[in-house]
C-alpha cells in the first residue's frame, strides 16, 4: 500500500490508510463504511466490493477515488491527448476493449480487472461493447473537468507486482484551452498523443494545418510548468504518439501499409517491432509536412510512435448516431501503443522494447 497517494482530481496528497472508506448510495451521496468488531475478511470484502476512499484535502466536495486506488503502490495515471474529434475516445475504447481479452493478456503474463468495478462495468457496457460488438460510434466527450474514464488493477507476473491504473479521456476542446483546468496532468504517469491525419494539410484532403495539434502544445506546456521542467529539453514522461485513423492512409502510403499487412493477434503482442514502427512513423510525419505533430516525441522521454486505426473504416451517420456501415468496427494495431506504454512504465518488461526503441 502507498503511504500517500496523489489525488488526480485536485493533486493533493491523500494519507491512504486514513482516508475515509465510503459506499455510494442510490442518489449519488456517500455513506461511511466502518469495519465491525470481529468482522472477518470475507464479510468485509463483500461490504467493500463497491467502496471508495475520499480525498478531503481540497476545498468543496470531497473527491471520490476507487477504494483500492492506493493499495498497490503509486498508481499509474494514463491520459489521452489530442484536439477535438482526433479520435481519442474511439482509440481508448479499442485499447481497453483489448485488455478484456483474457487469453491475450495471459500470453503477456497479465491479469486485468476493474478497480472501480461499477465504473468499469458501466464503461464496458455503455461504450466499449456497443462499439466493438455492434459497430456503434462514440459521442464526442463533453467539455468539462476530467473524471476517471476507467480504473483497472493489473497483475504482472513477469514484473511480480500489481498496479492500479487510471485512464482519463478528456474533451479535445477542454485540452486545447489554456485556461481550462486539467489537474491530472500533474499526476500523469504516461500519455497517449493522438495524431489526426485528417488535420494534416495534404494528407487526406487539401485542407488542414501545417503547424501541429494545438492541444499537444498546451498539454506539454502545462506539464512542464506543473512539474518544474520549464527550460529543460526533455521531460521524463513516457509517451506513445499514435497516428490514428490510419485506415484513411494505408492504401496509398508505403510506410503505413506495411504495418497493416500482418494482422495476427501475435504480431500485436510483439514489442520488438516498436523501434522500426517508430522510425517509419517518424519518417512519415516528417516527410509529409507534419513535424509539428512530433512535438511530444521530441519533448517526452521515453517515447514511441505508432500507426493505428480504431474503427478500421469510416463511420456513417444515421439519425444522428454514428455507425459502422459494415455492421461492426475492426480496430487495428490499437493494443500495441498501450503495451509499449506499459513497458515504458514497468508493467511489462522495459527491455521488451529493445535498446533503442525509445527516444
Ligand X SMILES: Nc1nc2c(ncn2[C@@H]2O[C@H](COP(=O)(O)OP(=O)(O)OP(=O)(O)O)[C@@H](O)[C@H]2O)c(=O)[nH]1
Q: Which residues bind Zn ion (CB under 5 A)?
A: 7, 9-10, 55, 58, 63
Rounded to whole angstroms, how far apart are CA atoms 42 and 172? 43
Phi and psi dihedrals of 64, rounded to 5?
-100, 115
Spatial CA neighbour of 163 closest among 112, 219, 127: 112
- Minimum CB–partner distance for residue 75 and Zn ion (Å): 13
Q: How far is the CB of 193 from Mg ion (least distance, A)?
A: 14
Least distance to Zn ion, CB of residue 189, Å: 17
Is residue 31 within a helix (H) or strand (E), and if so which, with residue range? strand 30-32
Exactly one of 63, 245, 299, 333 binds ligand X (CB under 6 A); that residue is: 245
Nearer to ligand X, 149 or 156 (CB): 149
Q: Is 120 in the site for ligand X (CB under 6 A)?
A: no
Residue 7 binds which entry of Zn ion, Mg ion, ligand X, none, CB below 5-8 Å type-dependent:
Zn ion
The candidate with the shortest Cα–Cα distance to 73, out of 156, 4, 18, is: 4
Instruction: Name which of 93, 92, 48, 99 is nearest 71 in CA terms.
Output: 48
CA distance 315 to 87: 12
Binding of ligand X at residue 215 (CB under 6 A)? no
Q: How far apart are CA 165 and CA 224, in angstroms?
A: 22
SS3 71: strand
How far the first Cα of the chain sits from its last, in Å, is 32
Q: Single out the segment in contact with ligand X by CB under 6 A; choices: 121-129, 223-231, 282-290, 303-311.
A: 303-311
Which listed range, 11-19, 100-108, 241-249, 344-352, lies at the site for ligand X (CB under 6 A)? 241-249
**Could you say whether residue 315 binds ligand X (CB under 6 A)?**
yes
Which of the stretches 17-25, 55-63, 84-92, 299-307 binds ligand X when contact is defined by CB under 6 A?
Answer: 84-92
Which positions touch ligand X (CB under 6 A)?
A: 82, 84-90, 137-138, 140-141, 171-172, 244-245, 247-248, 309-311, 314-315, 322
Which positions touch Mg ion (CB under 5 A)?
A: 88-89, 141
Amino acid at each position: 500500500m502507498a503511504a500517500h497517494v496523489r489525488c488526480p482530481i485536485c493533486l493533493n496528497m491523500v494519507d491512504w490508510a486514513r482516508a475515509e472508506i465510503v459506499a455510494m448510495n442510490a442518489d449519488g451521496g456517500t455513506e461511511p463504511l466502518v469495519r465491525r468488531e470481529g468482522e472477518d475478511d470475507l464479510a468485509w470484502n463483500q461490504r467493500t466490493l463497491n467502496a471508495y476512499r475520499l480525498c478531503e484535502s481540497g476545498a468543496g466536495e470531497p473527491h471520490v477515488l476507487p477504494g483500492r486506488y492506493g493499495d498497490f503502490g503509486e498508481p499509474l495515471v494514463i491520459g489521452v491527448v489530442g484536439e477535438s474529434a482526433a479520435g481519442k475516445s474511439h482509440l481508448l475504447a479499442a485499447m481497453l476493449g483489448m485488455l478484456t481479452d483474457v487469453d491475450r493478456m495471459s500470453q503477456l503474463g497479465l491479469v486485468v480487472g476493474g478497480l472501480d468495478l461499477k465504473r468499469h462495468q458501466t464503461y464496458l457496457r455503455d461504450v466499449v461493447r456497443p462499439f466493438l460488438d455492434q459497430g456503434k460510434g462514440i459521442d464526442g466527450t463533453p467539455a468539462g473537468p476530467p473524471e476517471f474514464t476507467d480504473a483497472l488493477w493489473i497483475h504482472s507476473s513477469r514484473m511480480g507486482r500489481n498496479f492500479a491504473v487510471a485512464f482519463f479521456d478528456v474533451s479535445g476542446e477542454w485540452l486545447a484551452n489554456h485556461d481550462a483546468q486539467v489537474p491530472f496532468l500533474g499526476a500523469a504517469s504516461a500519455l497517449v498523443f493522438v495524431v489526426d491525419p485528417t488535420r494534416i494539410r495534404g494528407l487526406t484532403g487539401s485542407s488542414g494545418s501545417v503547424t501541429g495539434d494545438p492541444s499537444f502544445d498546451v498539454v506539454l506546456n502545462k506539464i512542464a510548468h506543473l512539474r518544474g521542467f520549464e527550460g529543460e529539453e526533455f521531460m521524463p514522461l513516457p509517451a506513445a504518439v499514435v497516428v490514428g485513423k490510419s485506415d484513411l492512409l494505408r492504401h496509398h502510403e508505403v510506410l503505413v501499409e506495411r504495418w497493416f499487412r500482418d494482422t495476427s493477434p501475435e504480431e500485436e503482442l510483439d514489442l520488438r517491432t516498436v523501434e522500426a514502427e517508430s522510425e517509419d512513423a517518424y519518417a512519415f510525419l516528417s516527410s509529409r509536412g507534419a513535424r509539428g505533430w512530433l512535438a511530444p516525441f521530441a519533448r517526452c522521454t521515453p517515447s514511441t510512435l505508432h500507426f493505428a486505426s480504431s474503427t478500421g473504416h469510416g463511420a456513417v451517420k444515421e439519425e444522428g448516431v454514428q455507425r459502422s456501415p459494415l455492421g461492426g468496427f475492426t480496430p487495428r494495431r490499437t493494443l500495441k501503443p498501450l503495451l509499449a506504454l506499459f513497458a515504458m512504465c514497468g508493467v511489462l518488461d522495459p527491455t521488451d522494447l529493445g535498446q533503442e526503441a525509445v527516444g
